[in-house]
Amino acid sequence: MGYSEKLQLVKDTVNTVIKGKEQVVEKVLAGVIAGGHILMEDIPGVGKTTLATTFAKALSLDYKRVQFTPDVLPSDILGFSMYNSATKEFEYRPGTVFCNLFLADEINRTSPKTQSALLEVMEEGNATVDGVTRSLPDPFVVIATENPYGSSGTQLLPESQLDRFMICLSMGYPAHYDAVQILKGNASNPVSKVQPVITLDELVEIRQFANDMFVKDEIYEYIVNIVEETRKNEMFSAGASPRGTIAILKMAKAMAVINGRDFVTAEDVQNVTPDALGHRVKLGQRARTQGINMDTAMEGLLRSVKSPR
């Protein structure tokens, strides 16, 4: 069985639990393959936590979850040293980030100090406590959920942390038919029935295949042109950094693997650009006065940059 067939089984498994959100499921899977972290921004109750839990089971990932509140401390995340009276030495107790999939639930409800504790973890894959740096398991993926800004008890994530997320997704309300199916399946607890589809070693192999994928120079040029346009287009007051180009490239490679190809197309780039750049740019005054939202601005951005054949 090829990589695309195995990944299709993963998507089918997750879609049995998450009804009517096939595109979101595919993007989350691509984010995991790309080795990035994923931010889910949406209202409570639409299935963000269920999505993360289901993926952890289907991909054979060691999974831990923290419900972020104002009193969660950095030591809860990274770990701490505790004095052992028997050995008369300090012993390190690992924090919750020592896993393959870490779900940071409602990350914008905790303090900036705790949010910043995740920065090194997300960027370097290490946790430093008392001057000692320890490596996290590989793979390591953070899926963070946050409620919309302005909700009671929430605060903005710093731009430096937002930039650590490869993509930002929103699930939205389910369609009527899907809402009925969710209601029918609620009593049976479908998450408990999810079985592993691929092993951890197979996931690492797929990630390596995606990372080594050949990309034509025209695609590299196209990605850079898109990101550079965010810095020149008057619809945006702040453009994306070079990290945005890397995010688009890695996500496009992952989408190519999911679709059974060993090369990246312009369509792959266009498919992932809104998710990779939407949280990295800011709408300008013109966009706000005209009532243009980020989705519409991204559509205009892709139309304004010439696509390679």
Domain that holds residue 144: 9-186
| Tokens matching residue 8 | 């299709």
Residues 87 and 182 in one domain: yes
DSSP string, 115-149: HHHHHHHHHHSEEEETTEEEEPPSS-EEEEEEPPT
> Bridge-partner residues for 104, per DSSP?
66, 144
pLDDT of residue 187: 59
Q: What pLDDT is recorded for position 228?
A: 94
DSSP letter at 103?
A: E
The three-point CA angle 42-73-90 to 5° equals 145
- Residue 74: CB atoms within 10 Å: 19
3-state SS, residue 92: strand
71 domain-assigned: yes
pLDDT > 90 fraction of the chain, expressed in percent and rounded:
45
CATH number, domain with residue 77:
3.40.50.300
End-to-end CA distance of the chain: 31
- Would you state the torsion angle of the CA atoms of residues 259, 265, 267, 268, taken in this order, to the nearest 10 degrees? 50
Identify whether residues 39 and 180 lie together within a single domain.
Answer: yes
User: In terms of domains, do 179 and 270 share one?
Assistant: no
- The DSSP annotation for 155-219 comes to -PPPHHHHTTEEEEE---PPPHHHHHHHHHHGGG-GGGG----S-HHHHHHHHHHHHT-B--HHH
**Are 146 and 280 contained in the same domain?**
no
Kindly state whether residue 207 falls inside one of the protein's structural domains.
no
In this structure, the answer to whether residues 268 and 134 fall within a common structural domain is no
Report if residue 91 sits inside a domain.
Answer: yes
User: What pLDDT score does 124 carry?
Assistant: 83
Name the CA dihedral angle for 20, 67, 294, 36, rounded to a multiple of 10 degrees: -80
pLDDT for the residue 198? 94
| In contact, 133 and 126? CB cutoff 8 Å | yes
- The Cα-based distances of 126 to 93, 113, 140, 150, 215 in angstroms read 15, 17, 10, 32, 30
* Environment class of 13 (CB within 10 Å of its CB; exposed 0-12, middle 13-18, buried 19+): buried
Q: Does one domain contain both 249 and 175?
A: no
User: What is the pTM for the complete model shown?
Assistant: 0.90
Considering the domain boundaries, does residue 264 fall inside one? yes
Of residues 122, 112, 116, the one with CA closest to residue 156? 112
Q: Could you tell me if residue 194 is inside a domain?
A: no
Task: Decide: 19 and 182 in contact? Cβ < 8 Å.
Answer: yes
72 found inside a domain: yes
Helices 266-277, 217-232: axis angle to 10 degrees equals 30
Confirm whether 56 is domain-assigned.
yes
Look at residue 59 in the predicted model and tell me its pLDDT. Answer: 94
Q: Quick one: 128 and 87 in the same domain? A: yes
Whether the Cβ atoms of residue 39 and residue 279 lie closer than 8 Å to each other: yes
Whether residue 134 is found in the same domain as residue 229: no
- Decide: 284 and 236 in contact? Cβ < 8 Å: yes
Which residues on adjacent β-strands are paired with residue 37? Answer: 165
Q: What is the gyration radius of the CA atoms in the chain, in angstroms?
A: 20
Distance of alpha carbon 141 from alpha carbon 260, whole angstroms: 23
- How many domains is the chain partitioned into structurally? 2
Question: Are 86 and 222 contained in the same domain?
Answer: no
Identify whether 199 is part of a domain: no
DSSP structure class, residue 307? P
pLDDT < 70 stretches in the chain:
1, 149-154, 186-188
Structure confidence at residue 149 (pLDDT) = 62
